[in-house]
Structure 1
Amino acid sequence: MGDSFKARDISLKAQKKLLSKMSNKTIAKNFIDGNLASVLDNLYSLFKGYTGNKKEAEKVVKNIIKIVVKINILYRNDEFSAEDLKVANQLRNKFNTIVKTVISFFEVAFTFDKVFLTKNINDCRDLLKQLVGNHLTDKSLGRIDHVLDAFTDPAFMEEMFRPESPHRPILQKIIDDMSKAFDEGGI
C-alpha cells in the first residue's frame, strides 16, 4: 500500500529524459508543425541578424523549442489540473493578444507601444510560469526568462518596429506566418 511506484510517473520522466537527448530537428518533427518551424527559423535569423551572435540566436530558439515541447508532453500526459487548464486558457488568450498586437504594430507605422507590449509579454511570462511552475525545474523556468527577456529587451523591440529597420524583411516573414496560423486556427 505504501509503495510509491507509478508507471505513469516513470513514463513521464523517461519522456523528459529522452527529450534532453534528442536533436532539435527530431523534436521539431514530432512536436512542431511546419508553420511554427518557419516562425522559429525566421526568429533565429532575426536574432542572429540583430545580435550578430549565432550562439545566442540558437540558444533563444532552442529554449523556445524545449519549452513548447515540455508543455506539450505535460498536456499529452494529462499532467495539468483543472486549475492549470484555466491558466493555460488565460495564457492562450494573452498570447493571442500579443500576436495580434505585434501584427498591428508591424502593419501600421508609428503605432508601436513598448510599454503596452512589454506589459503583455510579462503577463504572459507570469501565466506561463504559473502553468508549469509545479511541473518543470528551475532550469526550465530560467529558459522561459531567457526567451522572454530577449523579446522584451527595449533596444530589440524598438529596432524591430522602426519603419526603416533592416530586419523588416525577416519580421515580415514572421508576421506572415503568424497571420497564416491565425487564419488556420493554429494559435
Structure 2
Amino acid sequence: MESFSSKDMAMKAQKKILSHMASKSMVQMLIDDTSSEILDEFYRISKEHSGNRTEAQKVVKDLVKVVVKVGVLFRHNRFSKEELSLAQDFKKKLHQGSMTAISFQEVEFTFDKDVMTALLTDCRDILLKLVEKHLTPKSFGRIRHVFNHYSDPDLLTNLYTPVALSGPVSQRSAMA
C-alpha cells in the first residue's frame, strides 16, 4: 500500500518552486538588504576570480537554492534531534569561519589559506551530513560546488592581497 502525505507533497512542491525562483530579482524580494549585499559581494568575488560571469552567477544561484531548501526543511521541522545538533555545529563552524576571515582582514600578515580552506571544508561536510536524508544528489552537488568554489586557495589568497583588502569586501565583512 502506498502512503500519501499532502504535507510531504506540499513541502516538496515548495522546495521545487523556491529553487526555481533563485533569480536575482526574486531573491531581492525574499531577503533583506544586508543579505542581498552579501550575495552581491559573493558574486563579485566569484566573477573577479573566475573571470566568468556565467560561472559566478551559477555559484551564487546554487548558494541561494541550498539556503532556501535548508530553510524549508527547517521550517517544516524535518530535522531530527541529531540533525538539529549538526545544524548547531554548522552554525558554530560558519561563525568561526566568519570571525577568522574578519580577523585575517583586520590583522595584517595573519592570513592562512590552509586554515580558511579547512574551515570551509568542515562547513561543507557538516552541511552535507545534515541534509543527506533530505535532499537529492543534485543538491549535494550544489553544496559541493559552492563550498569548493569559495574554499579555492587561489581565490582566498587573492581575496587577502593588499589590493583586495582596500575594497568593499573588507568594509562589508567588518560590518557583518
TM over 0.5: yes
- CA shift, 1:59, in A, is 0.8
Match of 1:171, as an amino acid?
V
Using the TM superposition, give the Cα deviation of residue 120 of structure 1 relative to its aligned residue in structure 2, in angstroms: 1.1
Query: Matched residues in 2 for 1:115 and 1:49: separation?
Result: 21
Alignment of 1:39-58 (within 5 A): 39-58=38-57
- Counterpart in 2 of 1:171? 169
1:83 match: 82
User: Which position in structure 2 is the counterpart of 1:150?
Assistant: 149
Shift of 1:22: 2.3
Give the CA deviation at 1:47. 1.5
> Are residues 1:38 and 2:37 paired?
yes
Going from structure 1 to structure 2, the CA distance change for 1:67 and 1:41 (only over 3 Å counts) comes to same
- The 8 Å contact of residues 83 and 130 in structure 2, kept in 1 or not, is answered as yes
1:2-56 per-residue CA deviation (whole Å, 9 max, x = no partner) reads: 45111111111111221233252324422x3221111001111121122221001
Number of matched residues? Answer: 175
CA RMSD of aligned residues (A): 1.6
Contact 1:91 1:124 in 2 (8 A): yes
- Give, in whole Å, the separation in 1 of the partners of 2:60 and 2:149: 11
User: Could you give the per-residue CA deviations for residues 105-148 of structure 1, whole angstroms, max 9, x where no partner exists?
Assistant: 01111100111111111111111001111111111110111111
**Distance in 1 between residues matched to 2:157 and 2:100, nearest whole Å:** 14
1:68-108: CA deviation from partner (whole Å, max 9, x where unpaired): 11110001111111111000001000000000000010111
Counterpart position of 1:100: 99
Residue 26 of structure 2 corresponds to residue 26 of structure 1: yes
CA drift of 1:174 comes to: 3.6
Determine what percentage of the aligned residue pairs are the same residue: 39
Match of 1:62 in 2: 61
Q: Is the 8 A contact 2:22 2:64 kept in 1?
A: no
TM-score normalised to the size of structure 1? 0.87
Q: Match for residue 114 of structure 2?
A: 115
Mind listing any 5+ residue stretches in structure 1 that lack a counterpart? 179-187
In 1, Cα distance between equivalents of 2:114 and 2:132: 26
TM-score by length of 2: 0.92
